[in-house]
């Protein structure tokens, strides 16, 4: 399988991290496509902001607009049906006895990256870009660098391919994620991320803060708000 070395598939959820990754990919590769997954997540509003965010990001730069290719949404409802997590069920947001957040869906990112790799392979896209990060606390073991590297090896062995799993946010914190966005797209991109992206686990689009919309209390909101205040400091 010939993979185009200047192409990428971005795992794009419509949140801050994956939007920053989309800009990162558009800054580097000639041909960039996006993929999203629906799996019965509570914060399904995330899926609704994807297309407006894509349109807005294409509106920031003619170069980016020309590079941005098609989007697809893959249904993984089966993931919601076999896992019990606060991301897919109406459970209280708290920490589990083993220290993992209740939002943990075991293996979710393994599944996402594998499905993305299947699509990338068939589309001839060499790089698969994901906004996973092990610097800020999320506690998701499948977001860790070793996990992603191991999966890259398994995928390439299993598909006889040379796909590259890219994780531009792996070693930076949330304040640096805002700085990275500013370095690529200036304040216009930062403003776009504040206004258009969605991060809140509870899907709250009613409460407006200087860092964007969200409940302000869930883990995702607190990480985003905390990173924003350090970025603006
Ligand atoms: Zn929230």
Distance, in Å, from the CA atom of 132 to the CA atom of 109, rounded to the nearest integer, reads 9
Query: What pLDDT score was predicted for residue 12?
Result: 97
In the reported structure, the alpha carbon of residue 91 is separated from the centroid of ligand 1 by a whole-number distance in angstroms of 14
Ligand 1 center from residue 202 Cα (angstroms): 5
User: What is the arithmetic mean of pLDDT over 123-149?
Assistant: 89
Q: How far is the CA of 201 from the centre of ligand 1 (A)?
A: 5
How many angstroms does the Cα of residue 155 sit away from the middle of ligand 1? 34
Residue 94 is predicted with a pLDDT of: 62
pLDDT in tens, 63-101: 999 999 999 999 998 887 887 766 666 666 666 666 666
Structure tokens that stand for 138 in this block: 């999320």
**pLDDT given for residue 52 in this prediction:** 96
Residue 180: CB atoms within 10 Å: 18
| Average pLDDT of the chain to the nearest whole number | 90
pLDDT value, residue 42: 63
Kindly indicate the confidence band of residue 106, based on its pLDDT and cuts at 50, 70 and 90: confident
Task: Tell me how crowded residue 140 is: count the other CB atoms within 10 A of its CB.
Answer: 19
Q: Would residue 110 count as lying in a domain?
A: yes
**Mean pLDDT (whole number) for 26-45:** 88
Q: What is the CATH number of the domain that holds 184?
A: 3.40.50.620
Range of the domain at 32: 4-199
What pLDDT score was predicted for residue 62? 98
Query: Is residue 1 predicted with pLDDT exceeding 90?
Result: no
Q: Is the dihedral of CA 142, 146, 150, 153 positive or negative?
A: positive
- 57 domain residue, yes or no: yes
pLDDT given for residue 39 in this prediction: 83
Q: In the prediction, which pLDDT does 199 show?
A: 87
Q: Is residue 76 part of a domain?
A: yes
Measured in angstroms, how far is the CA atom of residue 204 from the centroid of ligand 1? 6
Residue 2 pLDDT? 87
Give residue 102's pLDDT.
Answer: 64
16/43: higher pLDDT: 16
Distance 6 CA to ligand 1 centre (A): 36
* Residues at Cβ < 5 Å from ligand 1 ion: 200, 202, 214-215, 218, 221
| pLDDT, greater one: 29 or 86 | 29
Tell me, yes or no, whether 228 lies in a domain.
no
In a domain, 26, yes or no: yes
The verdict on residue 225 lying in a domain is no
Q: 46 falls in which pLDDT band (50, 70, 90)?
A: confident
Query: Which H helix or E strand runs over 108?
Result: helix 108-123
- State the Cα–Cα distance between residues 86 and 41, nearest whole angstrom: 9
**What average pLDDT does this structure show over 45-65?**
93
Q: Is residue 214 part of a domain?
A: no
Overall domain count for the chain: 1
Residue 219: inside a domain: no
User: 162-199: per-residue pLDDT in tens?
Assistant: 999 999 999 999 999 999 999 999 999 999 999 999 98
Q: How many A from CA of 107 to the centre of ligand 1?
A: 23
Q: pTM for this one?
A: 0.92
Q: How far is the CA of 118 from the centre of ligand 1 (A)?
A: 32
**Average pLDDT in the 6-33 region?**
97
């Amino acid at each position: 399988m010939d993979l185009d070395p200047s192409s990428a598939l971005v795992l794009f959820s419509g949140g801050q991290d994956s939007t920053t990754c989309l800009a990162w990919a558009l800054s580097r590769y000639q041909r960039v496509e996006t993929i999203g997954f629906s799996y019965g997540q509570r914060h399904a509003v995330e899926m609704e902001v994807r297309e407006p965010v894509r349109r807005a990001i294409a509106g920031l730069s003619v170069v980016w607009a020309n590079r941005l290719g098609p989007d697809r949404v893959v249904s993984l409802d089966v993931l919601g049906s076999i896992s019990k997590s606060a991301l897919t069920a109406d459970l209280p947001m708290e920490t589990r006895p083993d220290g993992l957040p209740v939002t943990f869906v075991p293996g979710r990112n393994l599944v996402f990256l594998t499905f993305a790799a299947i699509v990338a392979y068939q589309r001839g896209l060499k790089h698969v870009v994901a906004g996973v990060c092990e610097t800020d606390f999320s506690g998701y073991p499948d977001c860790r660098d070793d996990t992603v590297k191991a999966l890259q090896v398994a995928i390439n062995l299993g598909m006889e391919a040379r796909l590259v799993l890219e994780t531009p946010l792996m070693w930076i914190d949330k304040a640096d994620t805002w700085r990275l966005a500013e370095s690529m797209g200036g304040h216009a991109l930062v403003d776009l991320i504040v206004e258009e992206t969605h991060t809140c686990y509870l899907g709250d689009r009613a409460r407006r803060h200087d860092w964007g919309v969200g409940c302000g209390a869930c883990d995702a909101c607190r990480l985003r708000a905390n990173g924003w205040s350090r970025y603006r400091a």
